[in-house]
Amino acid sequence: MASPRKTALIFGISGQDGGYLSHLLLSKGYAVHGTSRDAEASSFANLATLGLRDRVTVHSTALTDFRSVLQTIARVEPDEIYNLSGQSSVWLSFQQPVETLESIATATLNVLEALRFLAAPIRFYNAGSSECFGNTGDVAADESSPFRPRSPYAVAKSTAFWEVANYRESYGLFACSGILFNHESPIRPGRFVTRKITAAAARIARDGGGTVSLGDLSVQRDWGWAPEYVEAMWAMLQRPEPEDFVIATGEVNPLSDFAAAAFSAFGLDWREHVASDPSLLRPSEIHYGFGSAAKAKEKLGWTARTRMHEVARRMALAERARLDGQPLDGLLF
């Protein structure tokens, strides 16, 4: 007999990871539900771009309101919950620290408390962040590395991580966190520096000139491909016992190299088109951060397949396709 169809509930379905995770779960036969603060007003543009808008069921839910969270979970009766919601910009978190903390830490606590209250066998994935580690130095961060958050966003994500660990250990919930390093795609929000770079490269290539202003080009990051990272999220909830995992490529590159890769997709020299703007510097910065996904390889069978240069190239080509009114087929996954 065929296995019963599973139901997944994605808090934060309208974001980059929510879109790619929806695609993955639908391909595996799940019924997929997602939330937005106002589902009737939201455009769910990423779901539309991925051709999924009519294949998921959406619900209006305010994650900072416990009653709203509880009602949605009770209505959907999911087998799995993926918490990808919250204010996701490190830069914006310095301007909106309270909103950031509430949308991440309070929201996560509400979901956990709802799961404890309902006492249903629901598996819960929480989106952690490599920002929690702060500067990793020349040693790749893993699951045993200490947290040294350097932004309100990282503080909120660290809080949510320990909330999940506490509920897992105290109440026996199947709850885990994925500590994901930077992962990009053509549907990354435009405020993120990677999308800003690739959009500028495509525009400059089309127009025959121009510049883009960036902050600190010397910062080094571990950049991966978002469609691969949601595979790890799903795999974490298929294990016999809940565990936290670092998800990363294990490679680190300066932002200037990301810019070089994006501009080289059009045969351009990035140095001729990138200007440094001190006003774009963060109050505190992570200068060096990369991770080790050795545990994920061993226990999940997961490894990153796409590296930074290819990520930048695909994103740049997708931006050019948008500008030219061409389909993004072959560039989204």
Active site residue 129: yes
Q: Which of 80, 131, 163, 184 is catalytic?
A: 131
Active site residue 42: no
| CA nearest to 260, candidates 251, 271, 276 | 271
Question: What is the DSSP track for 14-63?
Answer: TSHHHHHHHHHHHHTT-EEEEEETTTTT---HHHHHTT-GGGSEEEE--T
Q: Which of 36, 93, 103, 129 is catalytic?
A: 129
In angstroms, rounded to a whole number, what is the distance separating the alpha carbons of residues 89 and 161? 17
Q: Which of 153, 158, 184, 292 is catalytic?
A: 153
Question: What is the DSSP track for 119-145?
Answer: T---EEEEE--GGGG---TTS-B-TTS
Contact indicator for 20, 230 with CB cutoff of 8 Å: yes
Contact indicator for 290, 253 with CB cutoff of 8 Å: no
Could you tell me where the beta strands, DSSP code E, fall in the chain? 7-11, 31-36, 57-60, 80-83, 123-127, 174-180, 183-184, 212-214, 220-221, 224-225, 245-247, 253-254, 274-276
| CA nearest to 289, candidates 159, 148, 147, 131 | 131
Distance, CA of 258 to chain centre? 18
Active site residue 20: no
Q: And the tokens for 176?
A: 């885990």
Catalytic residue ranges:
129, 131, 153
